Copies of this chain bind each other. A is one copy, B any other.
Amino acid sequence: MKATHRPDLFTWSGFDEARNLDFNGWAWIRPEGNVLIDPMPMSPHDLRHLDSLGGAAWIFMSNSDHTRAVAELARRFGAKVGAPEAERAGFPILCDAFFDDGDAPVAGLRLVALNGSKTPGELAFVLGDTVIFGDLVRGHVGGRLNLLPDAKLTDRAAAVESLRRLLGFGPFEAVLVGDGWPIFTDGDAKLRALLP
């Protein structure tokens, strides 16, 4: 796995040929049990790396389009699986728990539910100075952020309002994204640039 801006956060990626960008998974290393977010399939090397850092206790998904390698990694590590409450009905893979806005399933992690994205109640993950997005915010171009394209948004105004509210949980130095280039510095300003 690759180092990020924080010694307790790692990432690994798979290149998506349809979009010409990387899909990223995230590993948060913590003494009380590691957390994976929207994990991509892991190479044998990265699996050994994560083993050496203590495996995984929880896997959280931002939305039902990011099931990625969750089921196989949950089996591999004996991890519990969490997904958005708003997608509880018919979620495509087996989950141990569903989470809603304001939940803090482990100490130090706050979940924020976003409106207007392609799925209801998409979760953003706030870890101190860092926020991790699944789909609503992305990095198609290096060094700046973009919103999910209008064609995929269910309600642009609601999405923007959700971002405005999320900024209240900052300030954020890093804005990490499931799709594309992460932002490691000056995150707040780059998020604010998405607001009208």
Contacts and interface: CB of A to CB of B under 8 A. Distances in A.
Contact of A5 (B4, B142, B184): B142
Nearest to A49: B20
Interface in A7-28: 12-13, 15, 17, 20-22
Contacts of A5: 141-144
A20 B13 CA distance: 12
Contact of A186 (B45, B174, B185): B185
* Residues of A contacting B: mostly: loop
A184 B3 CA distance: 17
A118 interface: no
Contact of A3 (B4, B15, B142, B186): B142
A45 B49 CA distance: 29
Contacts of A15: 2, 12-13, 43
A182 B144 CA distance: 13
Interface of A: 1-5, 12-13, 15, 17, 20-22, 43, 45, 49, 140-144, 174, 181-182, 184-186
